[in-house]
Amino acid sequence: MKQILFLCVANSARSQMAEGLAQALFGEKVVVQSAGSRPASGVNPIAIQVMAEKGINISSHYPKSVDTINFRDIDLVVTLCADEVCPPLPPKVKHLHWPIVDPGAAEGTAGEIIERFRSARDDIERRLREIVENRR
C-alpha cells in the first residue's frame, strides 16, 4: 500500500484526524491524504486540540474537495461517514468503511464535546493500528 485517502463530508474533523494519525503511524512509507464531498472552511479547532494531546500537529491542514483527488494513484480509500452520505467512489477502488459519528456535530457541554472528539480519534487510531499490524 502506497497511498491512502480518508474521506468524509466536511473534511474538518474525522478525516483530518485520520490523516494526521496515519502520517504519524506510516511515516514516509505511505502517502496519506484526506478530502470531503462538501469541504468546510477550516479544520475543527477541537480536532486540532485532541490531536495535539497525542503530539500530532494538524494545525496546518485544510479541508480539500474530493474533486481534486486523482483516484488512479490511490491504493485504499477509507470512508468515515456514519449518519451522512459518503462521497461516491469510482468503481474498483479498494475501500474500507469506518462508520464514525461526526464529533463536529456533537452537542452538549464542552467536556462532552471534547470527549466525542477523543473517542473518534481513539477509534480511528485503533483501526489504523490494526492495519499496521496486518502489514507485518
**Given 86, 120, 124, 128, which residue is catalytic?**
86
**Given 4, 5, 7, 8, which residue is catalytic?**
8
The Cα-based distances of 130 to 72, 117, 127, 134 in angstroms read 25, 20, 5, 6
Round to whole Å and give the CA distance between 105 and 86.
Answer: 16
Active site residue 135: no
Active site residue 59: no
Round to whole Å and give the CA distance between 131 and 129.
Answer: 5
**Given 43, 69, 81, 124, which residue is catalytic?**
81
**CB of 77 within 8 A of CB of 34?**
no
CA-nearest of 102, 58, 109, 110 to 80 is 102
Active site residue 87: no
Catalytic residue IDs: 8, 81, 86
